[in-house]
Amino acid sequence: MLSIPASCASVVQGLGPKSGIGMPLLNVPFASAASVATGIAEAFKQLGVKGRAVVWAGDGGTADIGFAAVSAAAERNSDVLYVMYDNEAYMNTGIQRSSETPKYAWTTTTPAYAGGKKEQKKDVALIMLAHGAPYVATANIAYPQDLYRKLKRAAEIEGFKFIHLFAPCPPGWSFDPSLTVEVARKAVETGYWILWEYDDGVFKLNPPSTIYADKSKRRPLKEYLKLQGRFAHLTDEQIAELEKEIDKRWDTVLKLAKAFGK
């Protein structure tokens, strides 16, 4: 049972009264999905219906306007599988900055001539982890088997499950749609995006990110950035700074893997 808040995902379903989605789907207000899904899960429990409440929501609907509801659902450990597909901006309304937009990226509300976004990307998956949710994972559209396995695993677990799914947006990031998988893959290969999973108290890196724990194996960040128009204005110093921030992120993730490893 899908709940989808206002986002590009509300547009791609096809036009009513028809639908291109082969499962039951409730469209819901922008900030409401985590709470609506909680209600569906509780109703199914009370009515004895076998079914899962799943949210498919954008980064804006999750990390910004819907964040209080997401946090509350995680804190209650409501029986919801929440997938945040992260295209790093409000794309449906035409590429405005969200808290998931990375530093220095251009959006229509963080113009390139003013240096792009000033602030860091919010690490929602780690915040969900800090809630004590039983299952939290990152994923990337370039690695569908990893995503499939994580969805299947999450569906087995009762309680709040959160998957942070990296999803490049060709018009929003200014690259040719034929490069979508390439951009997504480069995000992992440069170490910008780290695939990890927290399951039943165990935190671990997932392949292919595992090898990039070794910094020398990572591709230069430039290979990821240069594919996208939204980073076209970046200076070499800024790129070096972003690479340092990637190192910091890796440091945190590796510490977590050590602290919560098997």
Ligand X SMILES: Cc1ncc(C[n+]2csc(CCOP(=O)(O)OP(=O)(O)O)c2C)c(N)n1
- Binding positions for ligand X, rule: CB under 6 A: 6-9, 30, 58-61, 87, 89-93, 98
For 50, phi and psi rounded to 5 degrees? -90, 115
Nearer of residues 39 and 115 to another protein, judged by Cβ: 39
Please tell me whether residue 158 binds another protein under the rule CB under 8 A.
no
x/- track of binding to another protein for residues 118-147 (CB under 8 A)? ------------------------------
- Among 7, 8, 42, 196, the residue binding another protein under the rule CB under 8 A is 42
Please tell me whether residue 157 binds another protein under the rule CB under 8 A.
no
Nearer of residues 37 and 227 to another protein, judged by Cβ: 37
How far apart, in whole angstroms, are the C-alpha atoms of residue 164 and residue 239?
24
Please tell me whether residue 17 binds another protein under the rule CB under 8 A.
yes
SS3 153: helix
> Please, which residues bridge with residue 161 across strands?
81, 135
Please tell me whether residue 32 binds another protein under the rule CB under 8 A.
yes
Q: How far is the CB of 36 from another protein (least distance, A)?
A: 4
Please tell me whether residue 47 binds another protein under the rule CB under 8 A.
yes
Binding to another protein, residues 59-88 (CB under 8 A):
68-69, 71-72, 76, 78
204-219: b (≥16 Cβ within 10 Å) or e: bbbebbeebeeeeebe
| Residues 81 and 138: beta-carbon distance below 8 Å | no
Q: How far is the CB of 80 from another protein (least distance, A)?
A: 10
Chain length of the chain: 262
Tokens of 148: 């499939």
- Among 30, 55, 59, 117, the residue binding Mg ion under the rule CB under 5 A is 59
- Nearest CA-CA partner of 95 in 122, 116, 65: 116
Q: Measured between alpha carbons, how far is residue 177 from residues 2, 47, 92, 169, 174 in Å?
A: 26, 44, 17, 8, 9
| Residues 163 and 154: beta-carbon distance below 8 Å | yes
Residue number of the CB atom closest to Mg ion: 58
> Please, which residues bridge with residue 53 across strands?
80
Q: Is the dihedral of CA 135, 140, 143, 145 positive or negative?
A: positive
Q: How far is the CB of 171 from ligand X (least distance, A)?
A: 11
Identify what 110 binds: Mg ion, ligand X, another protein, none; CB under 5 to 8 Å per kind. none
Residues that bind another protein (CB under 8 A): 1, 3, 10-11, 13-19, 21-29, 31-32, 34-40, 42-47, 49-53, 68-69, 71-72, 76, 78
